[in-house]
Structure 1
Amino acid sequence: MTPELAHDLKASVRTIVDYPKPGILFRDITTLLGDARSFRRAVDELVQPWAGLKIDKVAGMEARGFIIGGAVAHQLSAGFVPIRKKGKLPHTTVRIAYSLEYGIDEMEVHADAIKPGERVILVDDLIATGGTAEGAVKLMRQIGAEVMAACFIIDLPDLGGAAKLRAMNVPVRTLMTFDGH
């Protein structure tokens, strides 16, 4: 991606100071999603490395990953799989516990959402500490998926999440970075 495109997309992200707690700079992508040109460019850039390759499913992490992942899946002519918080899916599920900044949570997918060997891309809006994304990779692998990559609009590299995924042999694609938390 060109520096000009990254700058253009970065300008469409709103920063909210001291949310959800003092000292945090929250990177709000709802402004990017609300701008048709920025949203389209972000989806196109996330799709670009996979165009023409066989991707079976795009798995989106709750909740902004549903928005972005649905658009990416559509562009790739792939199925979409929602990765939900525990207790939100109505059918038989497979679940995994994962670490958050201040504790443990659980996420799940329908047990029949992905067939063994299917090629999957994980999608979310932002990667920070990587706990949720790491859990999603483990969950996908647990049900037999071949995780081809993890894609995010924003990377907060100071928090190390993208590096964690790369250490798990998962290629990471991000469109922009922000320093700090």
Structure 2
Amino acid sequence: MPLDLRDLPDSRERGWYLMLMAPNVKGPTYAWLDPSRLYCHHQAFQDCVEDLLRPFRGDAIDAVAGIDAMGFILGAAIANALQKGFVAIRKAGHLCVETVTQPYTDYSGRDKVMEMRTDTIMPGLRVLLVDQWVETGGTMQAAIRLVEQQGGMAAGIAAVCIEDSEGGRWLKDNYKWSHCVPPHLMPQFNAHRLDTCWADEPKPCLQ
């Protein structure tokens, strides 16, 4: 059903906007949820960005890096909120300048390569890395390696959800992190079952 961009819940508890996400209706070759629907609602988008930033308020952050492609949306919004510059980490083959590359395996098990320009990360630069979602952790780990091999430092990582996969737990153990999912809802996000509705709202199976 259409999304009413004017509608707001009476109480905006942390993560209220997660119920705006849309489930996969196109099959197993796609991600199991589409978080981008919440960006269409101005207050949901604003609250999502604020929740992601909360642990980093007061931290020394010099720049924000967003990961191709949906991490560009959140990353640019976070960079704007922090009044910092934004660095795009791209899928390989799109930049017409000198780049550094890093192979990785994405959440679907496909081998890919990402790249970033070589003239933005200086030694000691503290970078907050942002993606829309962290499922297996392979993409985020590759992005961190790109920053670190140029002498930058990962000041932290942020995503709508960082799942409790092996890779997700490794990232949480080794870097400061934030995401939008309250702890009591994490089992449902980890389950990856489109046919599972939550006992309590918000529910990813609602549109």
Q: TM-score, normalised by structure 2?
A: 0.78
1:9 to 6, 10, 17: 17
Q: Find out whether 1:117 has 2:124 as its counterpart.
A: yes
Asked if 2 retains the 8 angstrom alpha-carbon contact of 1:150 and 1:173, the reply is yes
Which residue matches 2:27?
19
**CA-CA distance at 1:78 after TM superposition:** 1.0
**CA-CA distance at 1:27 after TM superposition:** 1.3
For 1:46 and 1:34, locate their aligned partners in 2 and report how far apart those are by CA, in whole Å. Answer: 17
Which residue matches 1:53?
59
- Letter in structure 1 aligned against 2:13: E
Which residue matches 2:175?
170
Q: TM-score, normalised by structure 1?
A: 0.88
For 1:86 and 1:43, locate their aligned partners in 2 and report how far apart those are by CA, in whole Å. Answer: 27
- Letter in structure 2 aligned against 1:180: A
Which residue matches 1:99?
105
**CA-CA distance at 1:17 after TM superposition:** 4.3
Asked if 2 retains the 8 angstrom alpha-carbon contact of 1:84 and 1:108, the reply is yes
Unaligned runs of 5+ in 2: 1-11, 193-207
Higher RCO, 1 vs 2 (CA within 8 Å, ≥6 residues apart): 2
Which residue matches 2:141?
134
Q: Percent identity?
A: 33
3-state SS of paired residue (1:72): helix
How big is each residue's C-alpha offset from its partner over 1:61-109, in whole Å with a ceiling of 9 and x where there is no partner? 0011001000000111111000001111111101111123423211011
Which residue matches 2:7?
none
Asked if 2 retains the 8 angstrom alpha-carbon contact of 1:18 and 1:26, the reply is no
For 1:20 and 1:130, locate their aligned partners in 2 and report how far apart those are by CA, in whole Å. Answer: 19
- Letter in structure 1 aligned against 2:18: K
Structure with higher Rg: it is 2
